[in-house]
Amino acid sequence: MDDPNFNPDARPSEQAPELDSEPLKLSAGEPPAGQAPVWESAPLEVRTADDPADVESRRRSFLHNLFLLLSLTLAAFILTAWILVRVDAPFGAFSTGPQEVVQAQLLALDRGQLRPAYDMFSSRYRGQVSFEVWHELIVTHWRMFHGEVLRSEEPAKSGPGVSLEIYLRGADDKDYRARFLLIRTDGRWWIDDVHWAVEPDRGEFSRT
């Protein structure tokens, strides 16, 4: 027999769980339970190729390298000039006039530059002595023409031109005296004649 007091919708009451009276506290940086952490990153400073700071830095670097290159070039030029002055010291008094032509020919002879040396003769001399004859003479007596200049005399008036005497020591360790006769035509000086002699015998001249 059915119980008249039975109620099918009635369920035994369940005791609600006790909650902590204290409020839920979260520490800084800790996400709530069940929530994924969110990470915050500091903004990155990105410089583009057109950043004024980069442009200015490259400009300063370029100017520094350019200044360094110019300084090294100037130093090399000064050193080269100093070496040339030391090597050509005997020609220190040769500044203008016929001395420059004599200096140029002696240097060309010492370096074996025979054609340029021959071209410093006047047209009259080249008409009398061909390059082949003069070349043979230089090759035969090359020790005499490869010499060190010891001293030079001042140019002296000689007819229509000037004469200049140079004292040298040849590759054969003999002392020589070269007497140059120069004339001025076409606005420049030319070697019109030259004689070489072995010192101290001043009577033995060799015409070249």
What pLDDT digit, counting tens, does each position of 49-77 carry?
Answer: 556 777 788 888 888 888 888 888 887 77
Nearest to 90 by CA among 115, 73, 110: 110
Residue 205 burial (10 A CB sphere; 0-12, 13-18, 19+): middle
Residue 204 makes CB contacts below 8 A (sequence gap 6+) with: 197, 198
Domain at 96-207, CATH class:
alpha beta
Domain boundaries, the chain: 61-91, 96-207
Residue 192 burial (10 A CB sphere; 0-12, 13-18, 19+): buried
CA separation for the pair 120, 205 (Å, rounded): 21
What pLDDT digit, counting tens, does each position of 159-187 carry?
Answer: 888 999 999 898 888 999 999 999 998 88
**Which stretch of 20-24, 129-133, 155-159 has the lowest confidence by average pLDDT?**
20-24
CA separation for the pair 156, 158 (Å, rounded): 6
Read off the pTM: 0.50
Q: Give residue 48's pLDDT.
A: 54
For residue 66 the two structure tokens come to 């350019």
